[in-house]
């Protein structure tokens, strides 16, 4: 069971399979997470409370930002300086969507570096 943003990040990077979570200590070299499973993970982590206008959207944004940060922290190819610069990118909803929907780890890394350099 996925229980933390770190677990969501590991799943997004392909380290965790469905049903694995923070009780799993070893990371696997697995296939890259699919866009479909990533969307399901995002949807399940976004609670919708009836009667609260605007709250679900704000909660979803917070969850997406937390997920992006968790994934960036797990990317070993990035330096700490690059990771700090990357965090500012996730203020923009479009950047969050691009980052979370990119299924190739290599493309995600190249995209991050191109945005940091811009």
Rounded CA separation 101/44 (Å) = 16
Q: Is the pTM of this model over 0.75?
A: no
Give first-to-last CA distance, the chain, whole Å.
Answer: 38
* DSSP codes, 15-56: S--TT--TT--SPP--PPPPHHHHHHHHHHTS---TT-SSHH
pLDDT tens for each residue of 54-110: 567 777 777 889 999 999 999 999 999 999 999 999 999 999 999 999 999 999 999
- Provide the pLDDT for residue 62: 75
């Amino acid at each position: 069971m996925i229980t933390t943003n770190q677990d969501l990040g590991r799943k997004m990077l392909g380290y965790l399979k469905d049903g694995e979570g923070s009780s799993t200590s070893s990371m696997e070299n697995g296939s890259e997470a699919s866009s479909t499973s990533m969307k399901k993970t995002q949807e399940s982590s976004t609670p919708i409370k009836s009667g609260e206008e605007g709250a679900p959207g704000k909660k979803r944004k917070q969850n997406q930002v937390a997920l992006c940060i968790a994934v960036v922290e797990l990317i070993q190819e990035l330096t700490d300086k690059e990771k700090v610069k990357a965090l500012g990118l996730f203020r923009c909803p479009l950047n969050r969507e691009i980052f979370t929907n990119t299924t190739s780890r290599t493309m995600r890394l190249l995209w991050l570096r191109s945005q940091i350099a811009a």
